[in-house]
Amino acid sequence: MSLCINLSNRLAIVTGAAGGLGKGISKALVGAGARLMLIDRDQQALERAVQSLPRQTVAVVLDITNESAVNYKLARLWEEVGPPHILVNNAGVGGRVGLPFTRLSADDWKIPWEVNVVGLFNVTKAVIGQMQEGCIVNIASVSGRTGFQTSPPYSATKAAVINLTQVMARDLAPRGIRVNAVCPGMVFTDFYRGQRLAAAEADPTLLEVSDERYFEEKVERLIPLKRGQTPEDIAYAVCFLASDWARSITGQSLNVDGGLVMS
Ligand SMILES: NC(=O)c1ccc[n+]([C@@H]2O[C@H](COP(=O)([O-])OP(=O)(O)OC[C@H]3O[C@@H](n4cnc5c(N)ncnc54)[C@H](O)[C@@H]3O)[C@@H](O)[C@H]2O)c1
């Protein structure tokens, strides 16, 4: 086996592909030779993401929480693109800040649950019918490893993603399909920028702080390696798990977080 990660001739599907991590993951997959199908609900951002890639790519504008739209749109594409080999379930949203959790109402649980768990389920179900062999990489979070007080619904949905990864891994192992998760630590994307404003609901002094300062202060305080993660850091782990190098790895969740969580 070559020492390089080689994903040539494989079709990789990435959800949330117009966002910070999705773009990094897509670029790395293309660099490893994969063909891409990118999914996002934000049409303009998705078009920009596709234009930034060196290879022709299929773009699908889709809200992954809409089960019938997911089934309908994807079913029409298989003939054109061929069978999928890699699915990266990356689309995700944050949630309202707790501090304490009693500030939340029942409604605050709906969107994170619908996107982070049910949306991931919808896409996976629609894709695996076409997957003969291959692998799935779910993007969870360190917040799913340990309950961060900052966002109870987000933490709980990411814990659910880690658990669902194990369920899927067991169910799909007989078909030779591996399922793993990557748990990013702190990556400075739009997602992270939204976190400061959400946290300011509980601590108004954060309104005076810039997004960068908020991020850097948390990195300094919480991450043993004293560096925030980049989309590339997460993408390398995804490419590894999607490659034959990881052929004996399934049902696992890999923290890529500079040591933020050690479990
Ligand atoms: N940035 C971080 O620090 C961090 C840390 C841990 C985990 N994560 C996880 O990484 C993933 C990507 O995060 P990011 O930082 O790139 O966020 P982002 O906000 O930059 O991008 C998320 C993308 O998902 C898309 N999306 C959201 N809901 C969707 C839906 N219903 N249907 C289709 N597309 C949808 C958005 O349009 C956006 O393009 C998420 O699952 C997030 O929870 C991020």
For the segment 115-162, what is each residue's pLDDT rounded down to a tens digit?
999 999 999 999 999 998 899 999 999 999 999 888 899 999 999 999
Rounded Cα distance between 86 and 93, Å, is 22
Q: Which residues are bridge partners to 40 per DSSP? A: 61
114 CB less than 6 Å from ligand 1? no
Ligand 1 atom nearest to CA at 65: 31
Rounded Cα distance between 178 and 245, Å, is 12
Q: Is the pTM of this model over 0.85?
A: yes
261 CB less than 6 Å from ligand 1? no
Rounded Cα distance between 40 and 146, Å, is 28
Rounded Cα distance between 63 and 66, Å, is 6
20 CB less than 6 Å from ligand 1? yes
Strand extents, DSSP E, the chain: 11-15, 35-40, 58-61, 86-89, 134-139, 177-184, 253-256
Distance 174 CA to ligand 1 centre (A): 30
pLDDT at residue number 7: 96
22 CB less than 6 Å from ligand 1? yes
Distance 159 CA to ligand 1 centre (A): 16
Residue 50 neighbours by CB under 8 Å, 6+ apart: 38, 57, 59
257 CB less than 6 Å from ligand 1? no
Place of tokens 């591996």: 178
206 CB less than 6 Å from ligand 1? no
114-153 CB burial, b ≥16 within 10 A, e <16: bbbbebbbbbbebbbebbeebbbbbbbbbbbbeebebbbb
Q: Which residues are bridge partners to 178 per DSSP? A: 135
Helices 190-200 + 20-31 axis angle, to 10: 160
- Looking at residue 36, its amino acid is L
Rounded Cα distance between 163 and 104, Å, is 24
Domains and CATH numbers, the chain: 11-185+230-255 (3.40.50.720), 187-228 (no CATH)
Cα Rg of the chain (Å, integer): 18
Residue nearest to atom 25 of ligand 1 (CA): 16
Nearest to 92 by CA among 168, 20, 200: 20
- Looking at residue 23, its amino acid is K
Q: Reduce the DSSP state of residue 140 to 3 states and report it.
A: coil
Q: Reduce the DSSP state of residue 223 to 3 states and report it.
A: coil
* Residues with a known catalytic role: 154
At residue 36, φ and ψ (nearest 5 deg) are -125, 145
Pocket test for ligand 1, best of 15, 191, 257 (most atoms within 8 A of CB): 191
Distance 199 CA to ligand 1 centre (A): 18
Distance 165 CA to ligand 1 centre (A): 18
Nearest to 120 by CA among 143, 146, 139: 139
pLDDT tens string for the chain (263 positions)? Answer: 567 999 999 999 999 999 999 999 999 999 999 999 999 999 999 999 999 998 889 999 999 999 999 999 999 999 999 999 999 999 999 998 888 999 999 999 999 999 999 999 999 999 999 998 899 999 999 999 999 888 899 999 999 999 999 999 999 999 999 999 999 999 999 988 888 888 888 889 999 999 999 999 999 999 999 999 999 999 999 999 999 999 999 999 999 999 999 97
63 CB less than 6 Å from ligand 1? yes
Distance 90 CA to ligand 1 centre (A): 6
Residue 27 neighbours by CB under 8 Å, 6+ apart: 52, 53, 235
